């Protein structure tokens, strides 16, 4: 493939004579004549009729520049009543084609045949701010439902023209938890979208027509922390749904009636959460992936009868197999596996709910993708995650405090999935969070203890009944390096502050938050107390109070109330002061309570409130990060303890929202932080693989 071919396959093609003619501002008859007489660069799908054509704008422009024809008058399109009628033979052929096309069997979507010689092509369909890979692609492969995060509404994207419109209009971020759409799937007939709606932390299942109009609430349950529509049945009567229970954090597959919202449990997955769940085109079987055993990142794939009557392994292999999606003919399941050394796309035939034969490689080196599914014609859509973040370490000059040399990545395993670094006070370890499962699942996050002496990583065992998954704002070491404290969710789904033993992973609740929300926790210098930022769930981030809690007695004291989100707290080395950052700047208060003192003020820079704050060992300065370019990039600064303007340290890198946590080594010579890798893409992307299911490729 030439360089020109590589460029054109990344473009969105013009998919018909009508679109090609509109682009060239001519009628269809003219561009058809140009193809025959002047070599207009039009391509054809080999498995389609002669009229199924497509073209790339770049090739059309190159042809137009090289052609330089004599000026000619565009031929107007003839009105319908003046066009010649088709011949009788042509009409009979078309009638026969329609009859044969209808022989697909009840409940099945018939895919267009794919030529064995058709080349496998990958095209990027969507790559810009606002890409959302949690949505669903329509059966025609031309549209995609997605979460429009700027407004919170459900959107519909035209994957050919790039146009989009909102299917809902009631989203917004003016309430405590916001009102927004999230996961979505398009019905098999392409007329409806089922989606998750969150309203102030309460989730609902909703249905809306593809043409807009009022949404209909199918199901609402305050006792669920997660509701995700998976697929609508072919007759539209049932919605397969993945939910998580608040009481015990277990996951469950359920069937929700679209008529009355009644729920029928299908299968409990316990604490195992699938990356992908897929319903067969005939609605009889469900394919899903779960970890092969507790605590393992490797997954196997199972097939479950949609009525719950039977279940059997589909893919049982020592390596990691995940992300199953049914082919439109219902005879094959495609999935991602690293059995070839790197993620590749594999396929396996299925008959009567059981595997038939061995899995075959369809596309190697596909990357860490999120499968979206197949269109009716067999095109495979998938998402690529952008802006992968990693932990970087920079050396600091002990005299000037400036950065020496370029920052370097500290962790070279699970690249792009590591964040929230924290140096231990004894200087021997660095704790961090690593996402070890595909799809960026919350359950895949592991607390890792990295030895700074040997470079070895020790992954704390995952115990759903002990370890709080998904810490919301990092870890803080106790002064004696024996424990870590974090804010997160316990196994019962309740918010709280937890103490973790880094040797065993055992977790003990310190604070049960109840109807409150905590943003950050740190230890006092003597280890006898903790400080944390708390706010009400009714107005998170708007009325934040910094609280001091004595660990032995449980007695609490409110130190100061701040009207902005606070994710960064830093006790001074001598234990006398507590620094904190908000969108308004940096302040300090006495650790025992007293008047607040502003060190530095800014005009609402949200990057400061989430990008980390650390004291230097001598207590003379504070290190912080400030955002620029709308918070998309951050720079490291040093701020004098007496106040004044921050001084740049010489580091400016891209950041990822809420992934920041600065951590200074005990000797003050190294600083760890999270940044986006320089060679990564800025945004998520949506791609399509065409001709993946050709018979020759599947039979390799």
Q: DSSP letter string over 579-607?
A: EEEETTEEEEEETTS---EEEEE-S--HH
CATH topology of domain 3-76: Arc Repressor Mutant, subunit A (1.10.10)
pLDDT band at 219 (very low <50, low <70, confident <90, very high): very high
What pLDDT sits at residue 97?
37
C-alpha to C-alpha distance for 670 and 401, rounded to whole angstroms: 10
- Look at residue 122 and tell me whether its pLDDT is greater than 50: yes
- Please, is 188 exposed, middle or buried when counting C-beta atoms within 10 Å of its C-beta (0-12, 13-18, 19+)? buried
- Look at residue 87 and tell me whether its pLDDT is greater than 80: no
C-alpha to C-alpha distance for 248 and 587, rounded to whole angstroms: 40
Q: For residue 626, what are its two tokens?
A: 């400030």
Q: Which residues, listed in sequence order, are joined to residue 208 by a DSSP beta bridge?
A: 193
- Look at residue 692 and tell me whether its pLDDT is greater than 90: no
What pLDDT sits at residue 242?
96
CATH topology of domain 389-676: Neuraminidase (2.120.10)
Q: For residue 324, what are its two tokens?
A: 């199953």
Q: DSSP letter string over 56-114?
A: -HHHHHHHHHHH-PPP-PPPPPPPGGGSPPPPHHHHHHHHHHHHHHT-S-TT-PPPPP-
Are residues 471 and 455 in contact, defined by beta-carbon separation less than 8 angstroms? Answer: no
Question: What is the length of the chain?
Answer: 700
pLDDT band at 564 (very low <50, low <70, confident <90, very high): low
Residue 684: CA count within 13 A, CB half-sphere: 19
Helix, strand or coil, per DSSP, at residue 5 = helix
CA 147 from centre of chain: 11
pLDDT band at 102 (very low <50, low <70, confident <90, very high): very low
pLDDT band at 444 (very low <50, low <70, confident <90, very high): low
Least confident of 202-206, 416-420, 431-435, 468-472: 468-472
Q: DSSP letter string over 321-359?
A: EEEEEE-TTSSEEEEEE-TTSS-EEEEEEEETTEEEEEE
pLDDT band at 9 (very low <50, low <70, confident <90, very high): very low
- 97: enclosing H helix or E strand: helix 88-101
Q: What is the mean pLDDT of residues 126-140?
A: 90
More confident site: 318 or 634:
318
Q: What is the mean pLDDT of residues 233-253?
A: 90
pLDDT band at 111 (very low <50, low <70, confident <90, very high): very low
* Closest C-alpha among 697, 696, 695, 700 to residue 111: 695
What pLDDT sits at residue 559?
92
- Look at residue 110 and tell me whether its pLDDT is greater than 50: no
Q: What is the mean pLDDT of residues 147-152?
A: 91
Helix, strand or coil, per DSSP, at residue 670 = strand
C-alpha to C-alpha distance for 646 and 637, rounded to whole angstroms: 6
- 101: enclosing H helix or E strand: helix 88-101
Phi, psi of 686 (to 5 degrees): -115, 130
More confident site: 64 or 84:
64
Handedness of CA 535, 540, 543, 544 (dihedral sign): positive
* Closest C-alpha among 601, 599, 608 to residue 566: 608
Helix, strand or coil, per DSSP, at residue 227 = strand
- Look at residue 204 and tell me whether its pLDDT is greater than 60: yes
pLDDT tens, 364-405? Answer: 888 878 999 999 989 999 998 776 778 999 999 988 888 888
Q: DSSP letter string over 7-55?
A: HHTTSPPB-SHHHHHHHHTS-HHHHHHHHHHH----EE-TTS-TT-EEB
What pLDDT sits at residue 66?
66
State the architecture of 104-133+274-386+681-700 in CATH terms.
Answer: 6 Propeller (2.120)
C-alpha to C-alpha distance for 154 and 137, rounded to whole angstroms: 13
- Look at residue 210 and tell me whether its pLDDT is greater than 90: yes
* Closest C-alpha among 96, 122, 3, 4 to residue 56: 4
Secondary-structure breakdown of the chain: helix, strand, coil percentages, each rounded to the nearest 5:
10, 45, 45
What pLDDT sits at residue 308?
92
Are residues 277 and 226 in contact, defined by beta-carbon separation less than 8 angstroms? Answer: no
C-alpha to C-alpha distance for 660 and 177, rounded to whole angstroms: 22
- Look at residue 463 and tell me whether its pLDDT is greater than 60: no
Percent of the chain exceeding pLDDT 90 equals 44
pLDDT band at 314 (very low <50, low <70, confident <90, very high): very high
* Closest C-alpha among 389, 381, 388, 384 to residue 369: 384
- Look at residue 348 and tell me whether its pLDDT is greater than 90: yes
What pLDDT sits at residue 601?
84
Dmax (CA) of the chain: 95
C-alpha to C-alpha distance for 404 and 494, rounded to whole angstroms: 44
Are residues 515 and 496 in contact, defined by beta-carbon separation less than 8 angstroms? Answer: no
Give buried/exposed letters for 54-74 (b at 16+ CB in 10 A, else e): bbbeebbeebeeeeeeeeeee
pLDDT band at 605 (very low <50, low <70, confident <90, very high): low
* Closest C-alpha among 204, 135, 212 to residue 167: 212
What pLDDT sits at residue 618?
93
Q: What is the mean pLDDT of residues 290-309?
A: 86
Least confident of 39-43, 344-348, 637-641: 39-43
Q: Where in the chain is the domain with CATH 2.120.10.30?
A: 104-133+274-386+681-700, 135-272, 389-676
pLDDT band at 230 (very low <50, low <70, confident <90, very high): very high
More confident site: 538 or 203:
203
User: Locate tokens 């507790």: which residue?
Assistant: 294
Q: For residue 561, what are its two tokens?
A: 């109330």
- Look at residue 311 and tell me whether its pLDDT is greater than 70: yes
Are residues 567 and 473 in contact, defined by beta-carbon separation less than 8 angstroms? Answer: yes
Q: What is the mean pLDDT of residues 136-163?
A: 94
94: how many CB neighbours lie within 10 A of its CB?
A: 11
Q: In what order do the strands lie in the sheet with 613-615?
A: 613-615, 621-628, 633-640, 647-654
pLDDT band at 609 (very low <50, low <70, confident <90, very high): low
- Look at residue 504 and tell me whether its pLDDT is greater than 80: yes
What pLDDT sits at residue 69?
44
What's the pTM value of the predicted model, to 2 decimals?
0.69
For 630, residues 6+ apart whose C-beta sits below 8 A from its C-beta are none
Residue 644: CA count within 13 A, CB half-sphere: 12
What pLDDT sits at residue 322?
93
pLDDT band at 345 (very low <50, low <70, confident <90, very high): very high
Q: What value does the mean pLDDT of the chain take? A: 81
C-alpha to C-alpha distance for 252 and 131, rounded to whole angstroms: 28
pLDDT tens, 43-79? Answer: 876 443 334 788 887 778 777 766 644 333 333 333 3
Q: For residue 219, what are its two tokens?
A: 């199901």
What pLDDT sits at residue 573?
95
623: how many CB neighbours lie within 10 A of its CB?
A: 24
pLDDT tens, 508-548? Answer: 888 887 767 777 889 999 999 999 988 766 555 567 889 99
Q: Which CATH class is domain 135-272?
A: mainly beta
Residue 239: CA count within 13 A, CB half-sphere: 30
Helix, strand or coil, per DSSP, at residue 653 = strand
pLDDT tens, 643-681? Answer: 988 898 888 887 664 556 789 999 999 999 888 877 677
């Amino acid at each position: 493939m030439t360089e020109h071919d590589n460029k054109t396959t990344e473009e969105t093609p013009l998919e018909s004579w009508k679109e090609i003619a509109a682009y060239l501002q001519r009628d269809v008859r003219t561009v058809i004549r140009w193809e025959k007489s002047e070599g207009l660069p039009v391509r054809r799908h080999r498995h389609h009729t002669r009229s199924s054509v497509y073209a790339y704008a770049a090739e059309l422009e190159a042809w137009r520049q090289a052609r330089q024809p004599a000026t000619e008058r565009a031929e107007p399109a003839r009105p319908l009543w003046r066009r010649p009628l088709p011949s009788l033979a042509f009409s009979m052929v078309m009638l026969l084609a329609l009859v044969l096309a209808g022989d697909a069997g009840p409940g099945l979507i018939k895919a267009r045949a794919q030529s064995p010689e058709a080349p496998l092509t990958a095209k990027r369909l969507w790559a810009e701010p606002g890409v959302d890979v949690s949505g669903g692609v329509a059966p025609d492969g031309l549209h995609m439902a997605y979460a429009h995060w700027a407004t919170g509404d459900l959107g519909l994207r035209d994957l050919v023209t790039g146009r989009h419109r909102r299917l809902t209009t009631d989203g917004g971020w003016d309430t405590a938890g916001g009102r927004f759409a999230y996961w979505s799937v398009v019905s098999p007939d392409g007329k409806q979208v089922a989606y998750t709606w969150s309203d102030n932390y309460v989730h609902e299942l909703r249905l809306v027509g593809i043409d807009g109009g009022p949404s209909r609430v199918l199901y609402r349950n305050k006792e669920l922390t997660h509701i995700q529509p998976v697929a609508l049945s072919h007759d539209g009567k049932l919605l397969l749904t993945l939910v998580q229970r608040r009481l015990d954090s277990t996951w469950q597959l359920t069937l929700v009636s679209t008529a009355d919202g009644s729920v029928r449990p299908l299968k409990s997955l316990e604490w195992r959460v699938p990356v992908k769940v897929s319903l067969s085109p005939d609605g009889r079987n469900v394919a899903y992936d779960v970890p092969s055993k507790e605590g393992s990142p490797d997954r196997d794939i199972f097939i479950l009868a949609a009525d719950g009557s039977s279940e059997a392994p589909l893919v049982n292999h020592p390596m990691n197999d995940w992300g199953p999606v049914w082919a439109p003919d219902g005879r094959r399941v495609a999935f991602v596996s690293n059995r070839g050394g790197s993620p590749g796309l594999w396929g396996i035939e299925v008959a009567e709910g059981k595997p038939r034969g061995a899995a075959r490689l369809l596309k190697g080196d596909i990357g860490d993708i999120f499968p979206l599914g197949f269109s009716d014609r067999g095109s495979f859509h998938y998402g690529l995650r952008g802006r992968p973040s990693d932990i970087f370490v920079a050396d600091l000059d002990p005299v000037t405090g400036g950065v020496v040399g370029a920052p370097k990545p500290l962790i070279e395993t699970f690249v792009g999935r590591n964040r929230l670094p924290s140096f231990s006070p004894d200087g021997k370890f660095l704790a961090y969070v690593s996402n070890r499962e595909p799809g960026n699942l919350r359950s895949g996050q592991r607390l890792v203890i990295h030895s700074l002496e040997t470079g070895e990583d020790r992954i704390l065992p995952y115990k759903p009944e002990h370890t709080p998954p998904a810490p919301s704002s990092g870890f803080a070491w106790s002064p004696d390096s024996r424990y870590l404290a974090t804010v997160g969710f316990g196994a019962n789904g309740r918010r709280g502050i937890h103490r973790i033993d880094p040797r065993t992973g055992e977790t003990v609740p310190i604070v049960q938050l109840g109807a409150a929300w905590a943003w950050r926790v740190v230890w006092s210098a003597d280890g006898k107390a903790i400080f944390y930022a708390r706010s009400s769930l009714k107005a998170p981030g708007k009325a934040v109070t910094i609280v001091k809690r004595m660990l032995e007695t449980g007695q609490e004291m409110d130190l100061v109330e701040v009207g902005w989100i606070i994710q960064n707290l830093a006790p001074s080395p001598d234990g006398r002061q507590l620094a904190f950052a908000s969108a308004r700047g940096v302040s300090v208060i006495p650790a025992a309570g007293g008047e607040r003192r502003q060190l530095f003020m800014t005009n609402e820079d949200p990057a400061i409130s989430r990008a980390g704050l650390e004291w230097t060992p001598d207590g003379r300065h504070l290190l912080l990060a400030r955002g620029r370019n709308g918070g998309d990039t951050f720079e490291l600064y040093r701020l004098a303890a007496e106040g004044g303007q921050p001084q740049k340290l010489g580091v400016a890198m891209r950041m990822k929202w809420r992934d920041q946590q600065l951590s200074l080594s005990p000797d003050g010579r190294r600083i760890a932080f999270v940044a986006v890798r320089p060679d990564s893409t800025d945004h998520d992307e949506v791609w399509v693989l065409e001709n993946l299911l050709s018979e020759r490729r599947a039979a390799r």
